[in-house]
Amino acid sequence: NAGVTQTPKFRILKIGQSMTLQCTQDMNHNYMYWYRQDPGMGLKLIYYSVGAGITDKGEVPNGYNVSRSTTEDFPLRLELAAPSQTSVYFCASTLSNRVGGVPGELFFGEGSRLTVL
Amino acid sequence: AQTVTQSQPEMSVQEAETVTLSCTYDTSENNYYLFWYKQPPSRQMILVIRQEAYKQQNATENRFSVNFQKAAKSFSLKISDSQLGDTAMYFCAFMKPGGAGNNRKLIWGLGTSLAVNP
């Protein structure tokens, strides 16, 4: 059971470039999230999804886009990368109900370290 | 709006000793969930322990236990018999109760960096 898989683990971008961070989970979780974590800070929610075809903004959505065409995949798109987007990005997922899972127990990927120069 | 505060940015403890990490929160909800997550240097976040607010009994998971004081809105984590592998960032988090429309978003504290020294 792979859990939550993120790719790439590391990436360096030039200002103005675009890229997509991939996230896939094999636990049939309805809810998926993208967070960013800046040095010495907690997690800030970028976007989240409560199911395929449904996405919504979190606290810091500017400069990002997401899509959720399947239950398994939740890619994060960075358009026109800026130095302020240098961060570690985490994808997470959870079950939508209590059956078979702990409410609020998020399963995280290993993170993607992005540097924008 | 709910907030979560961790007042200790860094802590250290000697191996085999006990350490307590503090967390306070603010909410007007009566029922909710509280969590402690651990982020080791390898970076993958994992759940340590959770507490449901309607339960008076403090949650325990092996060497990890919480002191949940609902009236004081306090949720501290006690780690007994600290091990080198406990070295990590620890995050306290809050979630509203379940139900229709609940997007299960967690509200996070800024974290406490714990170093376990040999």
Cα atoms in the Cβ-side hemisphere of radius 13 Å centred on B23:
28
Please state whether beta strands B19-21 and A10-13 pair in parallel, antiparallel, or not at all (unpaired): unpaired
φ, ψ of residue B105 in degrees (nearest 5): -80, 140
Interchain CB distance below 8 Å, A103 and B98: yes
B103 vs A contacts (CB less than 8 Å): 31, 48, 50, 56
> Which residues numbered 81-110 in A keep a CB inside 8 Å of some CB on B?
88, 90, 92, 94, 96-98, 102-106, 108-110
Q: In chain B, whose CA is at the least distance from the CA of A110?
A: B44
Domain residue ranges in chain A: 4-116
Looking at residue B6, what is its pLDDT? 96
Helix/strand/coil (H/E/C) assignment for every residue in chain B:
CCEEECCCCEEEEECCCCEEECCEEECCCCCCEEEEEEECCCCCCEEEEEEECCCCCCCEECCEEEEEECCCCEEEEEECCCCHHHCEEEEEEEECCCCCCCCCCEEECCCEEEEEEC
Chain B interface test: which of A4, A30, A35, A43 (most B C-beta within 10 Å): A43
> Contact, A10 vs A110, CB < 8 A?
no
- What are B102-116's pLDDT values in tens digits? 566 788 999 999 999
Least CB–CB distance from B110: residue in A41, A106, A109: A41
User: Closest Cα to residue A60, out of A40, A32, A38?
Assistant: A38
CATH class, A4-116 region: mainly beta
Q: What is the CATH number of the domain that holds B18?
A: 2.60.40.10
Question: What's the domain range around B73?
Answer: 3-97+105-117
Which H/E stretch holds residue A78? strand A76-78
d(CA B17, CA A11): 40
B36 Cβ under 8 Å from any chain A Cβ: no
Least CB–CB distance from B103: residue in A42, A48, A102: A48
Classified as helix, coil or strand, A3 is coil
Looking at residue B31, what is its pLDDT? 85
* Total domain count, chain B: 1
| Paired tokens of B107 | 């509200």
- Mean pLDDT of all residues in A94-104: 63
- Mean pLDDT of all residues in A57-86: 95
Please state whether beta strands B19-21 and B74-79 pair in parallel, antiparallel, or not at all (unpaired): antiparallel
- What are B12-70's pLDDT values in tens digits? 999 999 999 999 999 988 888 899 999 998 778 899 999 988 888 999 999 999 999 99
